[in-house]
Amino acid sequence: MDIIRSLDAMQQYSLGAKKRGLRIGFVPTMGCLHEGHLSLVKLARARSDVVVLSIFVNPIQFLPGEDFARYPRPVERDEALCRETGVDIVFYPDEATMYSVDHSVYVEETRLSGGLCGSSRPGHFRGVTTIVAKLFNLVLPDVAVFGQKDVQQSRIIQRMVRDLNYPIDIILGPIVREVDGLALSSRNRYLSASERQDSVCLYHSLRRAEKMVKDGERSVAQIRAAMVSAISLSKSARIDYIEFVNDRTLQPVTVVEEPVLLALAVKIGATRLIDNVVLKLT
């Protein structure tokens, strides 16, 4: 495994790999890797000859008061996991080289980014699309793999690739969960012992919604009310949103008709967690 820090070196490596006829798979991350990230690496490996994983805590996708400064950066552990999982290149750009002091160009998606997390984190997705566009231009991947847990982000990246004509196949990896159902996240380590117990309320509320749909309930209002009741049993939980949207357009729906994406964000103490499921009628 090699580590590349220079932007030019990363681009030159990828250009050389392409000249040799190699297919490049890419997994962009902010580090603090877990099994969810590693599952994406395995998907990239199955579809490419060279796997590049980037680690960059992107400042422009954090809002004022969020956890940019304290976001965990366990560099040695991340490198060890990358070696064990078969990553070929770890790309470690730093903030000073990724963003010029006077940088003024951004990439912005305007249809899918307004609701869900976009409502409570204005400007977040502009930061995401900008950094992913820059990384695509540096890594030059044939395949890029993203996780379903960050479902709105994944839909936005798919739209960006389509609309800006990137020649990249976007692959979505399924959510990886703990034994009790909590979706893996780098931010889970912020949780105290009691908050960790409360955090499973996200998964339990999603399962409750799935059962209601399976049993014939189609009213979004009824299902949301049941989810709110379930989450409110956890003392440290505060709901940011529970939304039912069309899985393609991310527009709100009032009745469950496939495909409906059910997404939620809940603060457990000071830690904001997200999760989702695509509701199926059968």
Domain 186-277 belongs to what topology? Pantoate--beta-alanine Ligase; Chain: A,domain 2 (3.30.1300)
Handedness of CA 265, 148, 183, 85 (dihedral sign): negative
| DSSP conformational letter for 236 | T
The predicted-structure confidence for 42-87, as pLDDT tens digits, reads as follows 999 999 999 999 999 999 999 999 999 999 999 999 999 999 999 9
pLDDT tens for each residue of 136-169: 999 999 999 999 999 999 999 999 999 999 999 9
Nearest by Cα to 277 from 249, 253, 243, 254: 243
Going from N- to C-terminal start, the domains of the chain cover 2-173, 186-277
> Which residues are part of the catalytic machinery?
37
Q: Which residues contact 156 (CB under 8 A, 6 or more apart)?
A: 109, 112, 113, 125, 128, 129
- Per-residue pLDDT reduced to its tens digit, 247-259: 999 999 999 987 8
Q: What is the DSSP letter of 63?
A: P
What pTM was computed for the model?
A: 0.95
2-173: which CATH number, 3.40.50.1010, 3.40.50.620, 3.50.50.60, 3.40.462.40? 3.40.50.620
